Structure 1
């Protein structure tokens, strides 16, 4: 089942370390089938408040997203992001299609 790494980047200090992180992250995703689905972009807030940016990276499954995050290549650049931003990161599974809202009740 498709899985996602989702980051709510609440605050980012844009500087040389974040730029380096951005230059290097794509190469860490490729071996695990990861691809950006949402990367920043214009957020239209329609309820409450949403400070910051949204990042969603798609992977073939939860195993691959964990392997990417724990890989030596990603761990080598992780501090470039965490030391220069405030963010929340989660892994979440997608849904099988077709999916109805009531499927969560089973």
Structure 2
């Protein structure tokens, strides 16, 4: 079964409020076996809309990744992010 990758492109608009998201989100990621491959490091924007923060998270399966996103734990964390950042998030199945 192929792995899945949660890819987030984020622009934080309120760092103090975003901190509440970063405190709450790890519970969901840990519960679903997430492994961070990239988080906020140096980027070179080549095409499309740029966001200053980019994150890639690996999951063992697409089912796990989607369960994490839809989990009560993540949705609670997401409620903190809603007023603190703009985000484009997608989950893609690996090969």
Q: Give me the TM-score of the superposition, normalised by structure 1.
A: 0.78
C-alpha spacing 1:44/1:24, structure 2 compared with 1 (3 Å) = same
Measure, in 2, the Cα distance between the counterparts of 1:37 and 1:71. 21
Contact 2:4 2:94 in 1 (8 A): yes
Equivalent residue pairs, number? 93
Structure 1, unpaired ranges of 5+: 96-106
Q: After TM superposition, give the deviation of residue 51 of structure 1 in Å.
A: 3.6
Structure 2, unpaired ranges of 5+: none
Measure, in 1, the Cα distance between the counterparts of 2:79 and 2:89. 14
CA deviation vs aligned residue, 1:57-79 (integer Å, no higher than 9, x gap): 11110000111011111111111
Measure, in 2, the Cα distance between the counterparts of 1:70 and 1:40. 23
**Highest Rg: 1 or 2?**
1
Moved over 6 A (4+): none
Contact 2:25 2:78 in 1 (8 A): no
**CA-atom RMSD in angstroms:** 1.5
Q: Give me the TM-score of the superposition, normalised by structure 2.
A: 0.86
